[in-house]
Structure 1
Amino acid sequence: MAELCQPWPTDSTWCADLPNTPADRTPLQNAAVEHATRTLSLLTGGRYGLCEHTVRPYCTACQHQRTPSRHLYLQAGLPGQSWRPCTHAHDDITLPGPIHQIVAVHIDGRILSPTAYRVDDGVILVRQDGGVWPIGQNLAIPNGQPGTFAVRYIRGTSVPLGGVKAVTVLACELVAQLEGRRCRLPTRVTSVDREGVSYQMADPTEWLAAGYTGVDEVDVWLAEVNPAGRGRTIPTVWSPDVVQHRRTEWT
C-alpha cells in the first residue's frame, strides 16, 4: 500500500463548514480529515496521495555485463565499509515511482541543474546534458558531502477531483458524528487520538470489508476507481537485477 504522508486536500464547495486549510480547522475537524483520508486510501488500494522522499541509489553488483541497461550501475558497500565504482556508467536510473516531481538532485554536495535531467515513463531519471550519473557513492557518510549522490523527489499520484470531493464529504459526515449531529455513517465506532485528545469515530473496518462507506457521493467515486469493491494495492515487481535504493529518514 502507498505510504500516507499527509491528509488529502479538501474543498469547502462540498462542505461549507469544513475549511480547506488545516490551520483554519479545529482539532476535531483535522482529526476527521485525517481519518477520512486514511479510510479512502485503504479503500482505493493506496493509489492516491503524495509523499516527499530522499533516496540514495546504489546496487549490490555492477551492471557492466548487461547491455543495454536501464538500471543504475553503482557499487556500494555496507555502511562503514569502503566502496568501489563500477566500470560502466549510464545516463539513466530507475527510481521507485510514480515520480510526481523532482525536487533536487544532489551530487557531491551540489545541486544539479534541473535542465540536466528529465523523467521518462514516470520512473526513469535521465541525464540529458550529455553527462552520466556518478559511478559510485559512499553510503557511510551523510548526503551533501563529496562522494555522495541523492535524489529528493515527490512520489505518488495527485488526488483527483472526485477524491477531493469524497474526502471532503466523508470528513464532513465524521464531524457531524463527533458533534452528535445526524449523519449517514455506521454506528460502530473506534477511538482515534490526535493532539492528546481522544475521539470516537466511525470504525472503518466495516467499510473495508464491504468496500464502501454508505455515503452515496463517496461510494459512487469508489465504484469508479475501484470497481472490484475492495482496496487493491498497485502491483509491484521485484528483481535482483533492479537498482536498490536507501531512503533517508533523517539526518
Structure 2
Amino acid sequence: MVCEAWPTNLCCDVENVEADDLERWTLVASQILWALSGRRIGPCPGAGPWIPYLGTDGAWRNASVCGCKSDCSCGELYEVYLPGPVYDVGSVDVDGQVLTPGAEYGVDAPGKLVRLGGCWPDCRDMAAVPGEPGTFTVTYRWGLPVDEAAVAAVSELICHLLKGCGGGSCGGPHS
C-alpha cells in the first residue's frame, strides 16, 4: 500500500466534495499510480541494512556486511547498503547516540550509507531494543521523488475518480 498521498494540483472543481471523500480518492489515486510506477515513486519506510544469522557462539550477526566467514566483519566498515532507492534518511542511531547527517554520515547513490570520520559497527545485538548499547538502527524512506509529471497524473486521476465514482460505480457508463 502507498505510504502517503501524493501532492496534487487539481484542475477540477472540488468545492462541493467532502474533505473525507477527497482524501480517500487522493489516496486511491496515489495507490494506483504508485503500483503502476513499480512501487518506486513516492517515499515509503525502508528497512535497515541487516540480514541476521546466528553465529557459532550463539550471538546474532549481520550476514549482509561482507562475504567472509568470521563472526562479525571482514574489516573496517565505512558503508552499508540500504535497499532503495533512498528517498531520505530520518535517523541513524549507534549505541543509543543519534548521528548528525552530513557531519557523521551521508548517502551515496545507489543507496550506500557512508560513515564520515569513523566506521560503522561490525556487529549488532539483535536481542537489544533499538537505541540501547550494541544496536545500530537506520530509519529511512525509500522511493523516487514525486515529480511534476506524477503530480499531474495523480491530479487528473483524482478528478476522473471523483467524476466517475461520486454516485456509485467507477468508470462505467452513467445514466
1:5-33 superposed Cα distances (whole Å, 9 cap, x missing partner): 11211123x23427xxxxx9622111211
Structure 2: distance between partners of 1:180 and 1:88: 64
Candidates 148, 171, 174, aligned match of 1:186? 171
1:56-84 superposed Cα distances (whole Å, 9 cap, x missing partner): 6245499xxxxxxxx62599xxxxxxxx5
Structure 1: distance between partners of 2:137 and 2:6: 27
Alignment of 1:28-177 (within 5 A): 28-53=21-46, 55=48, 57-58=50-51, 60=53, 72-73=65-66, 85-86=72-73, 88-114=75-101, 115-129=103-117, 131-177=118-164
Residue in 2 that maps onto 1:26: 19
SS of 2:132's partner is coil
Indicate if the aligned counterparts of 2:164 and 2:172 stay in contact, CA closer than 8 A: no
Give the TM-score, by structure 1 length.
0.56
Indicate if the aligned counterparts of 2:164 and 2:171 stay in contact, CA closer than 8 A: no
Q: Read off the aligned partner of 1:11 and give its amino acid letter.
A: N
Structure 1: distance between partners of 2:112 and 2:47: 15
Q: In angstroms, what is the RMSD of aligned CA positions?
A: 2.9
Structure 1: distance between partners of 2:94 and 2:8: 37
Residue in 2 that maps onto 1:210: none
Indicate if the aligned counterparts of 1:59 and 1:74 stay in contact, CA closer than 8 A: no
SS of 2:75's partner is coil
Q: Read off the aligned partner of 1:124 and give its amino acid letter.
A: K
SS of 1:96's partner is coil
Say if 1:30 and 1:7 are closer, same or farther in 2 by CA, change over 3 A. same
Indicate if the aligned counterparts of 1:54 and 1:150 stay in contact, CA closer than 8 A: no
SS of 2:114's partner is strand
Give the TM-score, by structure 2 length.
0.78
Residue in 2 that maps onto 1:5: 3
Structure 2: distance between partners of 1:95 and 1:52: 11
Say if 1:106 and 1:25 are closer, same or farther in 2 by CA, change over 3 A. farther
Q: Read off the aligned partner of 2:159 and give its amino acid letter.
A: C
Q: Read off the aligned partner of 1:141 and give its amino acid letter.
A: A
1:180-235 superposed Cα distances (whole Å, 9 cap, x missing partner): 49xxx7318xxxxxxxxxxxxxxxxxxxxxxxxxxxxxxxxxxxxxxxxxxxxxxx
Structure 1: distance between partners of 2:132 and 2:84: 26
Indicate if the aligned counterparts of 2:49 and 2:83 stay in contact, CA closer than 8 A: no
